[in-house]
Amino acid sequence: MKSESDSKIAGHFGKERTMQLIAQNFYWPKMEMDLQKYCSECNNCQMIKSPQHAKHGLLHPLEMACKPCTHISTDFITDLPESEGATMILVVVDHFTKMAHFIPIKKKHSPMVAREYLENVWKYHGFPADVVSDRDGTFTG
């Protein structure tokens, strides 16, 4: 693998191209798994690898909150020891007052999270104008 991936002719073209080069002359059991592991640990392959996603958008500042509970942020704290059946916490922070709600969550399932949000935040503060999250599938769902 080293001779095919690291040679100046091969040029660290990644797993697919290196697999093609090696498969022309060699075969061994679990060859693809070995090659994938080798390429994932190769610093040059990781630095040269081109991004496989769309270009990131430009950053822009968040709008300033002018009154309480109009602009909030949400995120999860996960992998906590179990307490009364809950292993994660939904954190909701108001940008104006910096007040935070910490809501224990038993299961990261959109309907359950929405119900907990309604019972613990919405009924006290109403619907926010802006919500900032990390675009977790639970929030987008």
pLDDT digits (tens, 9 = 90+) for 33-51: 888 888 778 777 666 666 6
Per the structure, the complete domain to which residue 93 belongs is given by: 71-140
Asked if residue 24 belongs to a domain, the reply is: yes
Asked if residue 63 belongs to a domain, the reply is: no
DSSP 68-93: TTSEEEEEEE-SPPPBTTB-EEEEEE
Counted domains in the chain: 2
The model scores a pTM over 0.75 = no
Asked if residue 115 belongs to a domain, the reply is: yes
pLDDT digits (tens, 9 = 90+) for 75-91: 999 999 999 999 999 99
Overall average pLDDT of the 65-77 stretch: 92
Q: Specify whether 124 is located in the same domain as 90.
A: yes
Choice between 98 and 4, residue whose per-residue pLDDT is larger: 98
Q: What is the CATH number of the domain that holds 91?
A: 3.30.420.10
Nearest residue to 99 via CA among 140, 65, 137? 65
**In Å, how far are 5, 19, 20, 34, 37 from 30, measured between CA atoms?**
17, 12, 15, 6, 11
- pLDDT-based confidence at residue 121 (cuts at 50, 70, 90): very high
Asked if residue 59 belongs to a domain, the reply is: no
